Each structure stands twice: as C-alpha cells, then as structure tokens.
Structure 1
Amino acid sequence: MRRLIGRFLLGLSLLAAPGLANGQTEPANAEAVAIFAGGCFWCVEADFDKVSGVLSTTSGYIGGSVPNPTYQQVSAGGTGHAEAVRIVYDPSRVSYEGLLKVFWHNIDPLTANAQFCDVGSQYRSAIFYLDPRQKQLAEDSKTAVEQRFAPRRIATEIAPAGEFYPAEEYHQDYYRKHELKYEFYRWNCGRDARLKEVWGDEAGTPKES
C-alpha cells in the first residue's frame, strides 16, 4: 500500500511540474531550456555563451521532417530544419525574457529565410518554444519588435519545438576551437555590421544580462 501511494504522489508531482511533459523545460535541478535559431549556429552559440546565467549551449538542427539529419543534408536546404542552438540556463540568474532580448539584438528580424551572408530556410530566424509560457513571452516580444519596426514585416518565426538533433561534434564550440577562422567568417559575413545597422547601440550581447 505504501508503495502504491508513493507512486501516486510521484505521478501528481510530475503532472504539476512545469514543462516536464514537453521537452523538460524545467529539469529537476532548476535549470531551464530555450531554443533559438539565428543563422549560423556557430555565431548564436558564441553570442549566448557570453550571457551570465547561461550554463551550456549546443548547436543543432530543429524544425524539419528528416530524422537524424546531417550537416550536409541541412545545409543543402532539403530537410526543412533550421540551424539552431539549445541553451541550458539558470532561471535564477537570467530569465527567459532576458534571453529573448539577447536573441532579438543578435539577429536581423527583417530578412526572411536568411541571416546576413547565409541564405536559405535553414538559416531562418526562429524562436522554438517548449511550453505555453515561452510561447506567450515569445509572441509578446515579437509584438514589441513589430511595433518598433512598423510598417516593415518581421520575418522571425515562432514555432513549437520538435525534435532537436545535436550537430556533429566539430560544430560544437567552433568559435573556440577555430578562433581565427570563426572571427574571419563572422566579419566576412557582415554579421556585426548589419546588427549595428538594424539595432544601433542595442546590437549584440551585453556583458551582463
């Protein structure tokens, strides 16, 4: 009887825990997860690794129809996936709203199916939400961006997070493993110049968030 009662109480606790039934938005250790797509995942990873409260970042693929896609498949544009980054963060140090602010200030929301020099739907900007609260906060933030840039259209997608596939190991922490190549790519792609053009002094990742 005690064992049955224990299982019943455990089931109730899991039902009450936010996000556990949908991608474990709030894992048991009080960490949380966000998923953003903003063009080249090397750059998105580098941007969010600078944010205080972010614990880890993983480059990968999401939003497509092909299981276990490879970089070659995704970069060819035939799988429907976007290059994205899965962010694990400490919500006691940085909020989801704070991450959204960093996200917007590190993308070009005015360009559809491309980011900077990378063109194709695999480089689209998107917020992949893991629960209703994230969806609402993402929509609210997009509304604020739409008001700022009206009447221009905001191309950034808001979509439910499906299966996230980590990218190949050589893509993880690329900006650290190949610092010079990464810096040249980012400069040559015109990412920071365009961010400055779109967002002015708000562009980029703040030192403290």
Structure 2
Amino acid sequence: MRRLLTLLAAAFALLGVSASAAATLKSETAVFAGGCFWCMEHDMGGIPGVLKVESGYTGGHVKNPTYRDVTSEKSGHYESVRVTYDPAKLDYGFLLYRYWKLVDPTDDGGQFCDRGPSYRPALFVTPAQRPIAEKSRDEAAKRLKTGTMKTEILPLQTFYPAEEYHRDYAKRHSLDYTLYRTGCGRDARLRQVWGG
C-alpha cells in the first residue's frame, strides 16, 4: 500500500499536481452553522478524515459580506464553517453526528453567550445531503436531555470565507480562545443538552 501511495504521489508530481490538490480531487464538503465559528472550526478540525475547516459566512443576501455586515444582523448570513473531508475515511452522516454534540440545537436565538440571528445553528445542505440531514436531526432530537429541536436545515448557498484574522483563531490565540470558550459557557451548556 505504501508503495502504491508513493507511486501516486510521484505521478501527481509529474503532472504538476500537489498532494493537497490531489487530496481535494477526492474530497467532499459540508457547511454547518453552530454559533461562534472559532469554536466550530476548532472542534470540527479535530475529527479524523477532516482535511480542512474554513470559517466564513453563508445563508444571507449580501455578496462578499464582512464580519461587521454579518454581526450587524442586516446581511442574513450565519457565522458558519465549511468542512472539507475525505469520504473514504469519513462520511457525511458521521460529521452530522459530531455536529449535534457541538451545538445547542434547542436555542434558535444564538448559541451560548453569542446572541442574534448570525449565531443560530443551521445545516446548509445540497439536495443529496438533505435526507441524510433530516434523518440525523430526527435522531438527534430523540437524544436531547432538555428542550426541543429548533435547528433548521437550509439550502446550501454561496460560502464566503471569513477575514484572515478569524481563520485558525484557536490555534493562533489559544489562551484567548480558551478563556472565551470557558467564559461563554459552551461546554457546560453542551453537557446539559446532551448529558455527560
């Protein structure tokens, strides 16, 4: 197997295709909103089989929105993440299973200490993803320890990457990120919603 991978890498190199570009040829994407995109980016990035997680905006009507546009609540966009993953190692259903554990799907007014429409949880889906997402939402609703499911499933729209200073925030500012996450009560609320 190792020899095959070495040969494939050499073939891609001869064609001028980088290893990361070659990986992208066999990747799929999923878009999730779950409150603060720093937290979603951090948590989704740790899943084996995830190749990349990008913070950004989707679901609204403003083209090329800025963070200020989104948090002003006039753009209609949600803070969200686009997850690129290897379907040979991970499927969309498992990403959904992990997603539910990372959000409070009973709160449609925001997430944790982040309030307002841009922080609501939502799944942005392709037509092929919709039945998987609906089934996953129904199963997650049965596992809730408190409240009722309010997370929407919406059609996938254009995803706009966030400004550079938002990307990889947890990695670049680990202390600030940890203080924010703890102060926001995210993990404590997740234990209430899902148990554990």
Q: For residue 113 of structure 1, report the CA deviation from its aligned partner.
A: 2.4
CA contact (8 A) 1:62 1:81 kept: yes
CA contact (8 A) 2:145 2:195 kept: no
Instruction: Give the equivalent residue in structure 1 for 2:105.
Output: 109
Instruction: Give the equivalent residue in structure 1 for 2:65.
Output: 69
Change (3 A) 1:191 1:177: same
Instruction: Give the equivalent residue in structure 2 for 1:185.
Output: 180
Distance 1:165 1:28 in 2: 19
**Which of 167, 171, 174 is the equivalent residue of 1:172?**
167
SS at match of 1:162: coil
Distance 2:184 2:174 in 1: 15
Instruction: Give the equivalent residue in structure 1 for 2:137.
Output: 142
Map 1:34-183 to 2 at 5 A. Answer: 34-130=30-126, 132-149=127-144, 152-183=147-178
CA contact (8 A) 1:113 1:122 kept: no
Change (3 A) 1:28 1:76: closer
Instruction: Give the equivalent residue in structure 2 for 1:6.
Output: none
TM-score, structure 1 as length reference: 0.80
Q: Which stretch of structure 1 is more off in the superposition, 192-201 or 172-181?
A: 192-201
Distance 1:116 1:190 in 2: 6
Change (3 A) 1:94 1:86: same
Distance 2:39 2:147 in 1: 25
Segments of structure 1 that go 5 or more residues without pairing to the other structure are 1-26, 202-209
Q: Which stretch of structure 1 is more off in the superposition, 32-41 or 152-161?
A: 152-161
SS at match of 1:133: coil
Segments of structure 2 that go 5 or more residues without pairing to the other structure are 1-22
**Which of 168, 184, 200 is the equivalent residue of 2:195?**
200
Distance 2:51 2:24 in 1: 15
Residues 40-70 of structure 1, C-alpha deviations (whole Å, 9 max, x = no match) = 0000000011100000010000000111110
CA contact (8 A) 2:146 2:193 kept: no
Distance 1:188 1:162 in 2: 32
Instruction: Give the equivalent residue in structure 1 for 2:26.
Output: 30
Instruction: Give the equivalent residue in structure 2 for 1:23.
Output: none
